[in-house]
Structure 1
Amino acid sequence: MTNEILRKPRVLALIGIGNTSLYAAIKRGDFPAPVKLGVRAVGWRRSDIENWLASRETKVT
């Protein structure tokens, strides 16, 4: 099973929040932590983002 890795600009576009809010949510434990890709590169698993978005939908309705 392959899982696409999304870089930060794509993640921000999908979730609709800004950079500062993203890292604040990660620090609070409200958003999945990034996966280290290299010395200066991180990304997020698409499945983690999709699961987070799905959990937000159930809280809103």
Structure 2
Amino acid sequence: MSNKIIRLPEVKGRTGLSTSTIYLHMTKGIFPKAISLGERAVGWLEADIDQWLDERIAASKAVNNG
């Protein structure tokens, strides 16, 4: 498991989601929680984002094939 922390611009780029959607999904519990890096900085574990993306891809394939 990768312990690399990625910041919001990279998370947005990888997921295609807006900032507000990322935080809304976090609140609903359907997106990985951010890790506090300081008073005004957060990041996400790269492995958590990769897993979330893999789950979305698998779910999409299941719907399209089933």
TM-score by length of 1: 0.94
| Large movers: runs of 4+ above 3 Å | none
Aligned length, in residue pairs: 61
Aligned counterpart, 1:19: 19
Aligned counterpart, 1:51: 51
The structure with the larger Rg is 2
Amino acid at match of 2:54: A
Q: 5+ unaligned residues in a row in structure 2: which ranges?
A: 62-66
RMSD: 1.2
Q: Secondary structure at the match of 2:42?
A: strand
Percent identical among aligned pairs is 38
